[in-house]
Amino acid sequence: MTTTVEPVRPEVAPESVAARRLMDRIFKARELAVIAVLVVMLGATQLSNSEFLSQQGIRDLMLNATILVLVAIGQAMVVITRNVDLSVGSVLGISAFAAGLHLKDGGHPIIAVLLAVGVGALFGVVNGALVSLGKVPALVVTLGTLYIVRGIDSIWVGSRQITASALPDGFVDFGSDGIGVVPYLALLTLAALVVVAYYLRNYRSGRDMYALGSNPEAARLAGVPVRARVMTAYVVCGALAGLAGALYLARFGNVDSNTGNGYELVVVSAVVVGGVAFTGGSGTVYGAALGAVLLTSINGVLPALGVSSVWVTAINGFLLLLAIAVDRVLALRVAGALRKKAAQSRSARHA
Amino acid sequence: MPDPTVKSPVLSRLGGAVRWDTSVGVLLVVLLICSFSFVENFGNALNVSFLIGNTLPIALIALPMAMLVVSGEVDLSVASTAGLSSAVMGALWNAGMAIETIIPLCVLLGVVCGLVNGLLVTRLGLPSLAVTIGTLGAYRGIAQIVLGSDSVTDFPVQYLDFGAGRFGDTFLPYAVVPFVILLAIAVVVLHATRFGRSLFAVGASEEAARFAGVRVKRLKLAMFVSTGVISALTGVFWTLHYASARYDNATGLELSVIAAVLLGGIDFDGGKGTLGGAIAGVFLLGTMQNVMSLLNVSAQSQTVATGVLLVISVLAPRIGRRISQARARGRTAAPPLTAPST
Amino acid sequence: GGTTKDDASKDNGSAAVGKADPDAETKKGLTVAFLPKQVNNPYFTTADKGGEKALDELGSTYKEVGTSSGTDTAGQVSYVNTLTQQQVDAMAVSAQDPGALCTALKQAMRNGVSVVTYDSDTNKDCRQVFVSPASAEDLGRTQVELLAKQIGGKGEIAILSAAQTATNQNTWIDVMKEELKKPAYKDIKLVKTAYGDDDAQKSFQQTQGLLQEYPNLKGIISPTTVGIKAAAQYLSGSKYKGKVKLTGLGTPNDMRAYVKNGTVQEFELWEPAKLGALAAHVAVALESGQITGKEGETFNAGDLGTMTIGADGVVSPGEPTVFDKANIDEYDF
Amino acid sequence: MTHPEPETTPVLALEGVSKSFGAVRALRDVSLRLYAGEAHALAGENGAGKSTLIKSLAGVHRPDTGTVLLDGEPVDFHSPADARDAGIAVIYQEPTLFPDLSVAENIFIGRQPRRSLGRVNHRTVKTAAAELFARLGVALDPDRPARGLSIADQQLVEIAKALSLDARVLIMDEPTAALTGSEVARLFGVVETLREQGSAVLFISHRLEEIFELCQRVTTLRDGAWIASEPLSDLDEDGLVRRMVGRDLEELYPKQQTRIGEVALSVRRLTREGVFTDVSFDVRRGEILGLAGLVGAGRSEVARAVFGVDRFDGGEVEVLGRKLSPGAPSLAMAAGLALVPEDRRAQGLVMDMSIERNIGLTGFAATSRAGLMNRRAERSRAVDWATRLQVKYARLADVVGTLSGGNQQKVVLAKWLATAPQVLIVDEPTRGIDVGTKAEVHRLLSSLAADGVAVLMISSDLPEILGMADRVLVMHEGRLTAEIPRAEATEESVMAAATGRTDRGRKAA
Ligand SMILES: Nc1ncnc2c1ncn2[C@@H]1O[C@H](COP(=O)(O)OP(=O)(O)OP(=O)(O)O)[C@@H](O)[C@H]1O
Ligand SMILES: Nc1ncnc2c1ncn2[C@@H]1O[C@H](COP(=O)(O)OP(=O)(O)OP(=O)(O)O)[C@@H](O)[C@H]1O
Ligand SMILES: [Mg+2]
Ligand SMILES: [Mg+2]
């Protein structure tokens, strides 16, 4: 049903337009802040170690980020609908193995990638069905499927593993080659990112996801097909985790029953650092992707700076705290601006 | 068709019939009875004492965790706090300090860890899930810095005995005594004091609680600090029980605790649940694992079983409710449609 | 449990202090449980398979239990307890932590279970015999030798280890450091030891970091199968392939691709199956009363020949095997 | 029934509908017919089943028995979306907005205008929203997020959402409860136009004069049962009340003469940046001080700051001569202050907790010793106050969210009156309360004042302010603009001050 409202003169009060621009800027600043931190961090590292941003170094940075970024995109989508998918690590592991097994038996790389995506999407369907049909807390359900998928994976895989020698050369090369300094994997990830972001911003069903996360009860009353949307989010998340599994295989040339273990907390961290609120309804996948890049870059920066690996865990933790604290302070600024603005528009209203 | 009735009313109406925490308790009892009668080697005192001893760390942390989740927050850094406490204990012992001094220091450490979490959550208003994922890394990292790759094992024998020993030939480990005391305190605090009442209110609606004069921040801070303290004590217990202080002690314990607490019917959104249910959940998982090991079920299958149980724990009550609703609707729909009276 | 468990546990009630009788008859029908650091780990699976085969030949029963994580010490303890409960005759344990298993293992020995450790040891009073993969001295020395040969005896090198707490890694690294002090290696400089926690991704990034931090790095020793594999994968996809040498401990199956594409020249490993087989023989010998774990006691270890227990109750199946392009296809594990 | 009805087929009708929630029979064999071009009122006490009826029409609830007829054909709405697609627009009693989305998106969610490739046309969404607000005379920025909107603004957005549907049937459940006169007038203007264009309208309000102003016919419910459907021209207000409550109504504003005593609450130069500025006033024992103003004038904010829920940037608050520290509701309570907040769902009640626990939440001082709860004391306190305020409930252990809107409001009142406050601040105390109970609440406030309690009453219901207050303060744009004694307070004088024409009122101190 389309609306019959004719377009009219945009007669929004001028000061509210100005205020909106201000808000826009502050909002973008949240993502800009992550970029700034990233740039400063990489720059400082380069200063102290000139090898860091060599061609090889840049490629490594991008390659390191791709897998986490992919999973974070899907996770962000789920979190925006006020759900969460803790099973991504397990799903990544099992789809990587599925792809590897196919390749080992002489399968075609493209089929293998599709297979991984399919396996991921399948578990996405399971998660989505459990969460939306049963209307049960996503955290508990996906904690359950985290265990279940991990268990199935290790029963199925056993002590087998897929190593680089079992994979076609082209596939393994695909994992590290690229156009210039930009690896193929990064291009693929970027494409996925842009598509998902554009979808969420510009399609009704994408907007529905924000609505759903913002107020589920209202979404139902507004006729949003809640189940379908939740299901979509989970399937996309699963499929991206599956794709990430295939890329993992290409990148690391190795899968066993432990692949992807403990990945869920890293992904959740990335999404949170990227400013996607756990209460749903806000944040963007670009933010989540930036969060993922920031986290993986830290892991690249510390060894390059020669920081002993003893310190890495602690520094990672503190940086995560710093990132969310900075984000929070910015958000408080926005709230302040809103308050001032409310006062202004009130003057306008009763003038 | 989707049942559009608002969720809460029905929940309360049928609440008496299918309370999940009671079901978990019943399930635990049934499992225990079956295991005692049918599982070889389960029933002897030694095995039961193993079972209790291995489950105690999870049970200990589950006490404050359940209350924290009731208040609408969560602490994922518990295992790292325990690890840090263990590492500090080892480092101080290596430095020649007396264990009677070390334990209070570890408690203090727990206070600090809890304060950091609590202050970040209450003062800066950050989401606890994010904060404690951060401190999960930070505390574990500090533990690694403090103790490095050392593994300290030479604690005094009487303390190690306390950690691992049991009363004579009974099935009761010594450490059960402090646990039972803590459990009693926690039950009273959560279910019979104004503090507990306020926790439920805060978890169900923080804003409404604040409007009713509940000191939300103070309450949450107190809960984070208690969680820190108990986690640190668990670290001490862990060290003595396994006679080994390492920085990576208790790694991953947070997920086990949360799984058990959720299984026991504590609602992750806050405001609902009972401690009895949480502890039943802890021991249900512990017993299941023990029994499955005795029956030679592989670790992988145990993982699957844990997951299935978790999923069932949230699905079962809802499906049960759905069925009884359908039945109720069937009853009311039975009389023939009456003609409009106008 | 087997039918003989009751009498077995009775007459071995004090196995640790009893007297060895080298001529005692080898018992059959025993149950020996293997408790690796991690189940589903290909290395341990191969080792345990070796144990299974040996037990088959000896007429005893094999079983394997264990945690699916390599750092779940509590899980390992509860498995020891369970095995004690099930009254197996002997257990072969690869310890995740030297101290943490002690109480449980001692309890097992008190209950008449013979305890052998393999691959990774516990404190020595908590087991009867330790089956060491190869002597730490041998391993440390040979890895340094291999790398020195490849880099022409000079330049900067680094070590990529597993977890910081990994006991045997640390022992080997200590030996390597001692070894490097020898005049023959005076031009080689060990610049750093990095830890990849036996996690493919972490090891991968640690390798990247090493190369960025030390652009002049000539070689890397990774005495862990996960680490060497990850490092090899990174090198083979980077500009350092063939230029930065890599050696250490790896399995032929893992490393085949990299040896063939020129990333890696030589690396080494003992045969894990032999390790498991030896552990099985030790366990049966202990249960049969042929040995008690004292230095100098000898027993027959089937295909491995007659073995003698060394100082501290350690026994080892011999020197590691070096793999290269020429011989790698002869092995499958 | 003998009253004439239009001969045409009703656009939307309910025939013999019943609906139960467990033991509660919310609707019993109710029928209702809506005709094109007619505004139909639904009247009844709190908990009579009005909202339930609307939800049954809108596909939120599924009736247990009976049918919904659209153009004479039975329909089976499986979800609110079905009803919407059939041309039924609903404004629910409680606003249901998406706080994270912009106001414009809130209006068009799920049916945004699109451009090529099915993409949402963000620009049209915005201009269309601006157009709707212009029609309603509301100055809301379509781009601002819905988070932080006052209840009134939220209600306006809901109204805009319903209007944007250009529906054949417009159903409104108490849309005006939080609005002041001018907004109501604008709304009625728009609804009138729609009706003339042939829409059917179903309207619920506890303000009877609104019913008479807007509607032609009325259906009355009592305890879930259908009482009558008749033209409003046959009825006067008393007659309608008699239909609703089954008896005559007592005085709606039973103002007692009281002895005005010492100053109990004293607010000095209170300022919260961007919200209100330099607010000073005193409330004395035995006095009811009315605080009037337009929506968004900042009255609620002052109340919240005084009670300590919000911090303030400057000024001070004294209760019975003791200075309150800012930002501490618990201390304010200890000093004898109570605040009945305006948003009962978010602020007044913990919706998932039982009635008993909700009332108990403010009473720990009385019901616990050394921190330990005394269950019996807790229970008897709850029973006592629930009965005194005539809360309609099945069991005290029932979740408060299952009560009807007006009964929820009574629980909020009960919860705060039970603390026996010295100073009582009530923010929209009768929002959504039926006339009968309203009189009850007014009598209660009046007798509290007579007992020496100082009452500060914020209300958007001007007759209520005029009927109850000893003195009226008026706020405009975050400042006090007038203080008017009871004798001089009239609709004109208060509205003049509220809209900023301060020359008519006396300047506040
Ligand atoms: N979801 C529900 N579960 C249980 N009982 C309910 C539910 N919704 C409404 N009720 C009960 O149904 C009855 C009618 O409620 P309803 O909300 O329709 O009243 P109302 O006429 O709209 O009252 P008000 O004027 O106060 O808004 C009340 O007794 C209420 O407690
Ligand atoms: N949390 C908030 N964040 C931003 N603005 C807010 C917030 N709460 C309220 N406001 C704004 O402050 C202004 C004053 O609030 P409010 O409407 O509650 O005042 P009021 O005089 O009590 O009006 P009402 O008649 O609605 O009670 C409004 O414009 C509202 O939009
Ligand atoms: Mg209603
Ligand atoms: Mg207000």
Task: Tell me which residue in B4, B6, B141 faces A313 most closely, judged by beta carbons.
Answer: B141
> How far off is chain B from D508, nearest CA to CA, in Å?
29
Question: Which residue type occupies A166?
Answer: A
pLDDT range class, residue A63, cuts 50, 70, 90? confident
Residue A126 belongs to what domain range?
A: 13-343
What is the 3-state secondary structure of D419-474?
CCCCEEEEECCCCCCCHHHHHHHHHHHHHHHHCCCEEEEECCCHHHHHHHCCEEEE
Task: Tell me which residue in A20, A202, A211 faces D141 most closely, judged by beta carbons.
Answer: A20
- Beta-strand relationship, D479-485 and D471-476: antiparallel
Task: Say yes or no: CB of residue D219 within 6 Å of ligand 1.
Answer: no
Ligand nearest to the CA of D276: 2
Does residue D443 carry a pLDDT above 80?
yes
> How far off is chain A from B244, nearest CA to CA, in Å?
20
Question: Which residue type occupies D358?
Answer: N
Q: Which residues lie below 8 Å from residue D438, measured CB to CB, with a gap of 6+? A: D206, D252, D430, D464
> How far off is chain D from B81, nearest CA to CA, in Å?
29
pLDDT range class, residue A28, cuts 50, 70, 90? low
Cβ-based contacts of D100 with chain A (< 8 Å): 210, 213-214, 280-282
Other C-beta atoms closer than 10 Å to the C-beta of D312 total 24
Helix A14-48, helix A309-349: angle, nearest 10: 170
3-state class (DSSP) for residue C269: strand
Read off the pLDDT of residues A87-113 as tens digits, 9 standing for 90 and up.
Answer: 999 999 999 999 999 999 988 999 999
Is pTM beyond 0.95? Reply is no
Half-sphere exposure of residue D320, counting CA atoms within 13 Å on the CB side? 14
**Percent of chain A having pLDDT more than 70?**
87
Task: Tell me which residue in D97, D477, D500 faces A218 most closely, judged by beta carbons.
Answer: D97
Q: Which residues lie below 8 Å from residue A1, measured CB to CB, with a gap of 6+? A: D85, D111
Size of interface A-D (CB pairs under 8 A): 146
Asked if residue A2 belongs to a domain, the reply is no
- Best of B10, B11, B332 for a ligand 1 pocket test (most atoms within 8 Å of beta carbon): B10
Ligand nearest to the CA of D461: 2
- Decide if C170 touches A, using CB distance below 8 A: no
pLDDT range class, residue D509, cuts 50, 70, 90? very low
User: What are the extents of the domains in chain B?
Assistant: 40-314
- Which residue in chain A has the smallest CA separation from D296? A346
Would you write out chain C's pLDDT as a tens digit for each of its 333 residues? 333 334 434 344 334 446 777 778 888 999 999 999 888 888 898 899 999 999 999 999 999 999 887 778 888 988 998 899 888 999 999 998 888 888 889 989 998 999 999 988 888 889 999 998 888 888 899 999 999 999 998 899 999 998 877 777 888 999 999 999 999 999 999 999 998 888 888 888 889 889 888 889 999 999 998 899 999 999 988 889 889 999 999 989 889 989 998 999 999 998 889 999 999 999 999 999 999 888 889 998 888 888 899 888 999 888 888 999 999 998 887
> Residue B289 and residue C78: Cβ atoms within 8 Å?
yes
> Residue B153 and residue C67: Cβ atoms within 8 Å?
no
Q: How far is CA D247 from CA A108, A171, C22, C143, D240, in A?
A: 84, 85, 108, 101, 10
How many domains, chain A? 1
Which of D478, D477, D474 has its CA nearest to residue D497? D474
> How far off is chain D from B23, nearest CA to CA, in Å?
21
Question: Cα of A86 to ligand 4 centre, how many Å?
Answer: 42
Helix residue spans in D95-245 (DSSP H)? 103-108, 122-136, 151-164, 181-196, 208-214, 237-245
Read off the pLDDT of residues D365-402 as tens digits, 9 standing for 90 and up.
Answer: 888 888 899 989 999 999 999 998 888 888 899 899 88
Strand partners, C34: C64, C92
DSSP string, D316-332: EEEETTEEPPTT-HHHH
**DSSP-assigned letter for residue D145:** B
Cα–Cα distance measured from residue C156 to residue B237, given in angstroms and rounded to the nearest whole number: 45
Average pLDDT over residues A25-45: 75
Read off the pLDDT of residues D459-474 as tens digits, 9 standing for 90 and up.
Answer: 988 889 999 999 999 9
List chains adjacent to chain C, taking adjacency as at least 3 C-beta pairs closer than 8 Å.
A, B
Other C-beta atoms closer than 10 Å to the C-beta of A350 total 17
DSSP string, C42-54: HHHHHHHHHHHHH
* Phi, psi for A199 (deg, rounded to 5): -60, -50
List chains adjacent to chain B, taking adjacency as at least 3 C-beta pairs closer than 8 Å.
A, C, D
Structure tokens of B60?
A: 């200990």
Burial class (CB in 10 A: 0-12, 13-18, 19+), D479: middle
Give the pLDDT score at C130.
93
Is the ipTM value over 0.90, yes or no?
A: no
**Percent of chain B having pLDDT more than 90?**
57
Asked if residue A6 belongs to a domain, the reply is no
Does residue B339 carry a pLDDT above 70?
no
Ligand nearest to the CA of D145: 2
CATH code: domain B40-314 is 1.10.3470
- Decide if B1 touches D, using CB distance below 8 A: yes
- Which residue in chain A has the smallest CA separation from B149? A310
Task: Say yes or no: CB of residue D51 within 6 Å of ligand 1.
Answer: yes
Q: Which residues lie below 8 Å from residue B339, measured CB to CB, with a gap of 6+? A: D16
| Residues comprising chain C, all counted | 333
3-state class (DSSP) for residue D39: strand
Residue A154 maps to which CATH number? Answer: 1.10.3470
Does residue B186 carry a pLDDT above 70?
yes
Look at ligand 1, atom 27, and give the residue with the nearest C-alpha.
Answer: D405
Task: Provide the sign of the torsion angle of the four alpha carbons A108, A109, A114, A120, taken in this order.
Answer: positive
Give the pLDDT score at A10.
37
- Decide if A277 touches B, using CB distance below 8 A: yes
3-state class (DSSP) for residue C20: coil
Give the pLDDT score at A147.
93
Look at ligand 2, atom 15, and give the residue with the nearest C-alpha.
Answer: D296
Which of A53, A292, A105 has its CA nearest to residue A190? A292
Q: Which residues lie below 8 Å from residue C206, measured CB to CB, with a gap of 6+? A: A303, A309, C160, C194, C195, C196
